[in-house]
């Protein structure tokens, strides 16, 4: 079985963590399964090779998609490409698992949505299985996007919305709603990797920025103007509470630039960690006293390990995540004063042992196991 994992990459640590989550479960289900990754700017060849992925020959440039031609290549030619060059085409793929996280909705280009819808239709025509892994979906107020969802996404084998609002957002636009399910973020089963020296971070509160908080994707202008001050105040509050602030870059260049701005704006000495291994990033978070975080999978890595977390939001997916874990009060508002942020961080740390929180952690892990059971039933 050849499985393409779609929507993942190696710069955003959350996206890479989803890749590892899929690989780990596929290895449990079928150790002989072979994975395929398509090239893109954030998924260079060496990174794809390191996870033993075949390279997908994508006959697509921007919105010109010629992948239908791959089905007309002789089987011998496709076999030769795979055996000698490690290259596979769409025609070779049996299953596509789309782990995009958040890529389909009104905040994204219509052409992108239409291209994926055409891909889903084409794969279904050739008896391939396309499954949308748990992800944020919608809203779909744009009629053109609604049409693409109805025409294309309806042909998927399964669609997992990551929360109720995503479920409600896409449901009216699907022809067959029996394919639509709800399941939590599936990285909650992934165990972080621990290094011996991670114990030095036991009294650390990590600050994880996100440049999406200040770019065009965030429609909240108050956050845009206040965000850097919020991060600097986070440093001050962490110090005042007796912990050590450390900046953790969860993405790449743009988040790194934010880290440098925070470091330059505070009088306190502060370390910046640039860890490229997402499993080690999760291990770092699990070793800490808590986090103040603007990256979705940074928040997930904390919440699913019982680590105190104060978050910020530029998308509905954050509100839903914190509500699911009964921690909605710890999702910061841009209007918060420095003292309100300090109180929230202190309270987050002092209430982390609450039974209802830990019950939610176990509940969502069980739901993820059930999600995988449904997927494996469909592709076996």
Q: Is pLDDT above 90 for 64? A: no
pLDDT at position 380 is 85
The listed CATH number (3.90.1150.10, 3.40.50.2000, 3.40.50.300, 3.30.450.20) that belongs to domain 196-360? 3.40.50.2000
pLDDT at position 295 is 96
- Rounded mean pLDDT of 203-215? 97
Q: Hey, what are 93's tokens?
A: 């793929």
pLDDT at position 315 is 87
Residue of 245 and 218 predicted with greater confidence? 245
Q: Is pLDDT above 80 for 38? A: yes
- Rounded mean pLDDT of 356-361? 92
pLDDT at position 8 is 97
- Rounded mean pLDDT of 241-252? 95
CA distance 236 to 230: 10
pLDDT at position 31 is 96
pLDDT at position 363 is 96
- Rounded mean pLDDT of 40-54? 95
pLDDT at position 208 is 98
Spacing of C-alpha 239 from chain mean position: 30
Model confidence band, residue 354 (pLDDT cutoffs 50, 70, 90):
confident
- Rounded mean pLDDT of 356-370? 95
Beta strand segments in the chain, E: 2-6, 34-37, 54-56, 60-61, 64-65, 87-88, 95-98, 102-104, 129-137, 158-161, 180-182, 204-208, 244-248, 271-273, 290-293, 309-311
Q: Is pLDDT above 80 for 371? A: yes
Model confidence band, residue 61 (pLDDT cutoffs 50, 70, 90):
confident
Across the chain, what does the average pLDDT equal? 96
DSSP, collapsed to helix, strand or coil, labels residue 368 as: helix
pLDDT at position 353 is 87
Residue ranges of the chain assigned to CATH 3.40.50.2000: 2-190+365-379, 196-360
Cα distances (angstroms) measured from residue 120 to each of 90, 142, 205, 325: 12, 20, 43, 33
Model confidence band, residue 217 (pLDDT cutoffs 50, 70, 90):
confident
Q: Is pLDDT above 90 for 154? A: yes
Q: Which residue has the tokens 């390990």?
A: 305
The listed CATH number (3.40.50.2000, 3.30.465.10, 1.10.3720.10, 3.40.50.1820) that belongs to domain 2-190+365-379? 3.40.50.2000
pLDDT at position 140 is 96
Residue of 24 and 354 predicted with greater confidence? 24
Q: Is pLDDT above 80 for 63? A: no
């Amino acid at each position: 079985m050849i499985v393409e994992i779609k929507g993942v990459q190696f710069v955003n640590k959350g996206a890479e963590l989803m890749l590892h989550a899929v690989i780990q479960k596929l290895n449990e289900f079928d150790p002989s399964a072979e994975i395929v990754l398509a090239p893109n700017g954030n998924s260079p060849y060496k990174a794809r090779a390191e996870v033993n992925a075949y390279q997908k020959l994508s006959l697509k440039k921007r919105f010109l998609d010629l992948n239908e031609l791959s089905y007309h290549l002789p089987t011998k030619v496709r076999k030769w490409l795979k055996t000698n060059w490690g290259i596979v085409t769409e025609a070779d793929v049996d299953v596509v698992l789309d782990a995009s996280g958040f890529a389909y909705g009104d905040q994204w280009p219509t052409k992108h949505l239409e291209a994926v819808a055409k891909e889903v239709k084409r794969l279904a025509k050739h008896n391939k299985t396309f499954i949308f892994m748990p992800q944020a979906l919608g809203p779909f107020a744009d009629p053109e996007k609604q049409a693409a969802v109805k025409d294309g996404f309806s042909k998927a084998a399964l669609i997992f919305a990551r929360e109720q609002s995503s479920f409600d957002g896409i449901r009216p636009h699907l022809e067959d709603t029996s394919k639509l399910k709800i399941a939590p973020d599936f990285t909650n089963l992934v165990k972080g990797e621990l290094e011996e020296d991670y114990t030095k971070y036991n009294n650390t509160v990590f600050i994880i920025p996100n440049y999406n908080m200040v770019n065009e994707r965030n429609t909240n202008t108050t956050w845009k103007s206040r965000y850097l001050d919020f991060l600097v105040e986070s440093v001050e509050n962490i110090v005042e509470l007796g912990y050590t602030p450390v900046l953790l870059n969860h993405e790449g260049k743009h988040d790194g630039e934010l880290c440098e701005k925070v470091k330059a704006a505070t009088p306190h000495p502060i370390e910046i960690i640039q860890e490229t291994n997402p499993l080690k990033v999760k291990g770092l978070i699990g070793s800490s006293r808590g986090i103040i975080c603007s990256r979705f999978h940074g928040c997930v890595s904390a919440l699913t390990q019982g680590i105190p977390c104060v978050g910020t939001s530029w998308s509905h997916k954050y509100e839903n995540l914190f509500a699911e874990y009964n921690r909605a009060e710890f999702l910061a508002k841009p209007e918060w004063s420095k003292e309100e942020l300090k109180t929230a961080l202190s309270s987050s740390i002092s209430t982390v042992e609450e039974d209802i929180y830990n019950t939610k952690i176990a509940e969502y892990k069980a739901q993820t196991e059930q999600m995988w059971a449904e997927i494996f039933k469909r592709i076996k």
